[in-house]
Structure 1
Amino acid sequence: VNDALAAAGLDKCTHSIATINNLDTIEIITNGKSVYSQSRSELHSLWSSTSYEIAKLRDNPECAQQEFDAVSQLTSGIKTDLSFDLNQSIVTPYIKTNVKPKIAILREQGVNGQVEMGAAFTKAEFDAIDVHMSDILSGRVSLDEFKGLVACGGFSYGDVLGAGRGWASSILYNARAKDEFEAFFNREDSFTLGVCNGCQMISNLTEIIPGSQNWPSFSRNVSEQFEARFSSVKIGESNSIFLDGMAGSTMPIAIAHGEGKASFNGNSANNIAMQYVDHSGNITQNYPHNPNGSELATAGVANDSGRVTIMMPHPERVFRAVQHSHHPKDWDERSPWMRMFENSRAWVD
């Protein structure tokens, strides 16, 4: 930075006034004498106190308190801990063959995540096809043509019937669409992913998805607010084809939803695929690390066969390193989430 300023003739107009240290302390020194010293956590709490008082009145006061308490905690921040080799691309063998299985990038009115999703699956050597629900309802497109189906995120029907419910109802109460989706879910050579609004929608289709009867329902965030954050999740042991070989990894991911609280409603919590964790990598119920109050910190689940996975976080928004606000220096173009999309391509073969 100093070299750039000097090259622009601004070196005499700038001064270095601070350095970083390994302590949780802000200290001001003048003429070699300390004139002010205070812990970062106390100053941070003071800075955040006004926002906290407003949040107590506007939001769930318990969540406001938990977030305010987290300000004073000294942590290492968001981190990545991988159980697999980030730099290994498992789709390299398929590049030479130029065989690209077709995947339906499914959207409905109000859905907005189809472009990033299509890009991620294209990068993973799929032929990503834009499919609107009107194509299915009219019979212009059949799911028989596709190996994969992904329901994207957004706000279908403005969430006015509850997030994803209107979209799901357009399938369940249309004979042609219901038959199409039920046949697809029952095909052993097919796979399905639902993200955010797509997760909410598919969670309402359990009557036609084998092995999904114990899935949670998704309701309003416990904070009573729309949550748009960069959270951390830990990949669990599950049979999800998307997360094969990734168990034990802790990775940052984007979340953006108003109704993401997973509740199992007394059902057995089977096949939890990923859970929200704090900065120490511990599964947590505390806000904001668990951004919606999900039971068992559930962020995603799979069905019994592993061919259907649904999750509230957005892997398509972070499959490239440049999409992360911060990442380790040894990352190149790929982020760890690229492995998830590549796993589905490897499964097809």
Structure 2
Amino acid sequence: MHSMVSVAINDQLVLSENLGTLFLIWERTSYELEKLQMNGKCADEEYNSLVGRTGPKYYFNPVRDEVIGATLSKKVISIAVLREEGINGDREMSAMAEVCGFEVWDITVQDLLENKITLDRFKGLVFPGGFSYADALGSAKGWAASLLLNESIKIQLNRFISRSDTFSFGVCNGCQLMNLLGWFNVCSQAKNDLITDVILSPNISERFECRYSTVKITQSPAIMLRNMENSVLGVWIAHGEGRFAFKNHGVYDHLERSHCLPIRYVDDSNKITEDYPMNPNGSPGGVAAICSSDGRHLAMMPHPERCYQSWQCPYPEINPSSPRYTPWVLLFQNAYDWCAQQLV
């Protein structure tokens, strides 16, 4: 950004300017339009940060192709990808789980309502991203109501989460749902009563955000994040209500002390940030995910299923030992290995 740009026509100098200055001139029109359709303060933050940006700096242990799916077919472990009307991330999620060895069942809420299947046979329950009921009923609130207002399904969910050999994973709309289900409550009220300690609020930018953000994985009990601590990875985000909000500061403090906030948005120096646009929604402490204290349940707003293969990434994340996969594929590989250990 500090390089000089010079343009000459017929040996006559017509332009000599700092690249950063020219970049700001180029972006000025977009910036003025942005101020009309979003939180003006966020538009200012992004525009003023442009010249100082240095680009993401990824850090992770290489993934080896031969490790992914190495236990395929050795143990049949079934998981359910549960979708509701409007969900659109189920195919990518199923594909990501299948390459790691899982037998993936595609089921709908209607299947549960009609008693075509129950959750008892599954070791894992996955809530994919999308826009259940087009978010017309509020972010995942319609989906949560369809589950919690049916006594049979509510009993199944309680039974599933009470088993010690199960795990669950929610992304984006699925993350919003898991919080509405109360699976991450830290106070004394009963689970699944729509009284939640954690909710997902509208982005501070006041608009839908679709970006390739940078996150850091911190120490946590999450089984799906085993051996991924300190990794810094790029990941797609696509949400309008992704800002973590807590019932009170005590809830946030408890979750942080318990290491149950395992993924954070970071800036170009890999420091946890609340600054826009590196933190795309304004979550306090850069929070992008939450997990249960026993590590079996994980929910995150970013979409790892949209970038678990290298070709899905706009920035090249150098991984010479695996030209195919990014480290995000380890989420389901870790889950499969954990489930396999429960069967020993």
Q: TM-score, normalised by structure 2?
A: 0.89
How much has 1:265 moved relative to structure 2?
Answer: 2.8
Return the match for 1:259 from 241, 244, 260.
241
How much has 1:257 moved relative to structure 2?
Answer: 0.4
Aligned ranges for residues 259-338 of structure 1 at < 5 Å?
A: 259-266=241-248, 267-269=250-252, 270=255, 271-329=260-318, 330=320, 331-338=322-329
Structure 1, unaligned stretches of length 5 or more? 1-21
Quick one: structure 1 residues 212 and 145, their matched pair in 2 at CA, closer, same or farther if it must change by over 3 Å? farther
* 3-state secondary structure, aligned to 2:180: coil
Return the match for 1:80 from 30, 45, 58.
58
Aligned ranges for residues 59-208 of structure 1 at < 5 Å?
A: 59-75=38-54, 77-82=55-60, 84-87=61-64, 90-91=67-68, 93-95=70-72, 97-206=73-182
Asked whether the equivalents of residues 260 and 292 of structure 1 are also in contact (C-alpha less than 8 Å), the reply is yes
Asked whether the equivalents of residues 38 and 205 of structure 2 are also in contact (C-alpha less than 8 Å), the reply is yes
Q: Separation in 2 of the partners of 1:44 and 1:125?
A: 47
How much has 1:159 moved relative to structure 2?
Answer: 1.1
- The CA deviation string for residues 214-245 of structure 1, in whole angstroms up to 9 with x for no partner, is 85210111101000000000001111111111
How much has 1:26 moved relative to structure 2?
Answer: 2.5
Quick one: structure 1 residues 164 and 35, their matched pair in 2 at CA, closer, same or farther if it must change by over 3 Å? same
The one-letter code of the counterpart of 1:244 is R
How much has 1:42 moved relative to structure 2?
Answer: 1.0
Q: Separation in 2 of the partners of 1:201 and 1:181?
A: 13
Q: Separation in 2 of the partners of 1:49 and 1:30?
A: 26
* 3-state secondary structure, aligned to 1:94: coil
Quick one: structure 1 residues 23 and 47, their matched pair in 2 at CA, closer, same or farther if it must change by over 3 Å? closer
* 3-state secondary structure, aligned to 1:275: strand
Q: Separation in 1 of the partners of 2:109 and 2:129?
A: 14
Larger radius of gyration: 1
Quick one: structure 1 residues 149 and 60, their matched pair in 2 at CA, closer, same or farther if it must change by over 3 Å? same
The equivalent residue for 1:12 is none
Asked whether the equivalents of residues 66 and 288 of structure 1 are also in contact (C-alpha less than 8 Å), the reply is yes
How much has 1:85 moved relative to structure 2?
Answer: 3.0
How much has 1:74 moved relative to structure 2?
Answer: 4.1
- The CA deviation string for residues 314-337 of structure 1, in whole angstroms up to 9 with x for no partner, is 000000001111214535001111
Quick one: structure 1 residues 89 and 295, their matched pair in 2 at CA, closer, same or farther if it must change by over 3 Å? farther
Asked whether the equivalents of residues 235 and 273 of structure 1 are also in contact (C-alpha less than 8 Å), the reply is yes
Q: Separation in 2 of the partners of 1:295 and 1:264?
A: 9
Asked whether the equivalents of residues 231 and 253 of structure 1 are also in contact (C-alpha less than 8 Å), the reply is yes
Q: Separation in 1 of the partners of 2:161 and 2:4?
A: 56
The one-letter code of the counterpart of 2:19 is R
Q: TM-score, normalised by structure 1?
A: 0.87
Q: Separation in 1 of the partners of 2:82 and 2:311?
A: 25
Quick one: structure 1 residues 314 and 30, their matched pair in 2 at CA, closer, same or farther if it must change by over 3 Å? same
The one-letter code of the counterpart of 1:323 is Q
- The CA deviation string for residues 115-146 of structure 1, in whole angstroms up to 9 with x for no partner, is 00000000110011101000111111111111
* 3-state secondary structure, aligned to 1:296: helix
Q: Separation in 1 of the partners of 2:286 and 2:4?
A: 33
- For this pair of structures, how many residues does the alignment match? 323
Quick one: structure 1 residues 51 and 92, their matched pair in 2 at CA, closer, same or farther if it must change by over 3 Å? closer
Quick one: structure 1 residues 103 and 52, their matched pair in 2 at CA, closer, same or farther if it must change by over 3 Å? same
How much has 1:23 moved relative to structure 2?
Answer: 5.6
Asked whether the equivalents of residues 63 and 223 of structure 1 are also in contact (C-alpha less than 8 Å), the reply is yes
Asked whether the equivalents of residues 102 and 126 of structure 1 are also in contact (C-alpha less than 8 Å), the reply is yes
Q: Separation in 2 of the partners of 1:157 and 1:108?
A: 8
Quick one: structure 1 residues 172 and 212, their matched pair in 2 at CA, closer, same or farther if it must change by over 3 Å? farther
